């Protein structure tokens, strides 16, 4: 798999870690009355994990579609235009997929932050590692957005994704730092 698929996979691992913390918290002795709360978080994390796992293959398919478009015939002007349009459509899709990876992984931060604040403190380092995996996913997917956008940087949809993606990167770095600060405070207190 390429970098986009690996990024989605890293995010799925991060989401799985947050689910694990929620599950461990739901079974913590003395927290029986919080079982439903932590189960809801675990289920939400599982949905994010499964979506990211699906995006692993979606990213591979998007790349393959670009390669297929480049392989189209280009002898006649009509074939050249069809090929050009197919390349553009496949490339935009190959930008949208890692952007969706970014957004999906970012949703995992909500769970990681909740588990850091309210989850089993003995598992807080796992929540921290989950955050790091989610951030690696977001940044890796962003690199794939950027590289796929090189030839279409003036396309309106590509510009929109790049603007939103840049904002998401900045926000994710802030949230990641905040959560990791909380994790370290809990560990060292």
Cα maximum dimension of the chain: 74
118: which 2 tokens? Answer: 């309210």
Residue whose C-alpha is closest to residue 101's, from 140, 67, 44: 140
Residues of the chain with pLDDT under 50: none
pLDDT of residue 32: 85
Q: Per-residue pLDDT tens for 6-50?
A: 999 999 999 999 999 999 998 888 888 899 999 999 999 999 999
Which uninterrupted H or E stretch holds 178?
helix 156-188
| pLDDT > 90: percent of the chain | 94
pTM: 0.95
């Amino acid at each position: 798999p390429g970098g986009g698929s690996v990024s989605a996979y890293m995010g799925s691992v991060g989401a799985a870690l947050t689910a694990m913390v929620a599950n461990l918290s739901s079974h913590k002795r003395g927290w029986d009355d919080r079982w439903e709360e932590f189960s809801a978080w675990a289920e939400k994390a599982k949905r994010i994990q499964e979506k990211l796992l699906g995006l692993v293959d979606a990213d591979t398919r998007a790349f393959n579609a670009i390669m297929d478009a480049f392989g189209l015939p280009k002898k006649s002007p009509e074939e050249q235009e069809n090929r050009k349009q197919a390349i553009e459509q496949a490339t935009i899709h190959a930008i949208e997929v890692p952007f969706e990876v970014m957004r999906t992984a970012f949703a995992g931060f909500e769970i990681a932050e909740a588990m850091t604040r309210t989850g089993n403190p003995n598992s807080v380092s796992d929540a921290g590692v989950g955050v790091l995996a989610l951030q690696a996913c977001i940044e890796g997917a962003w690199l794939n957005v950027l590289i796929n956008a090189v030839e279409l940087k003036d396309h309106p949809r590509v510009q929109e994704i790049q603007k939103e993606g840049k904002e998401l990167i900045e926000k994710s770095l802030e949230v990641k730092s905040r959560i990791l600060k909380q994790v370290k405070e809990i560990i060292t207190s």
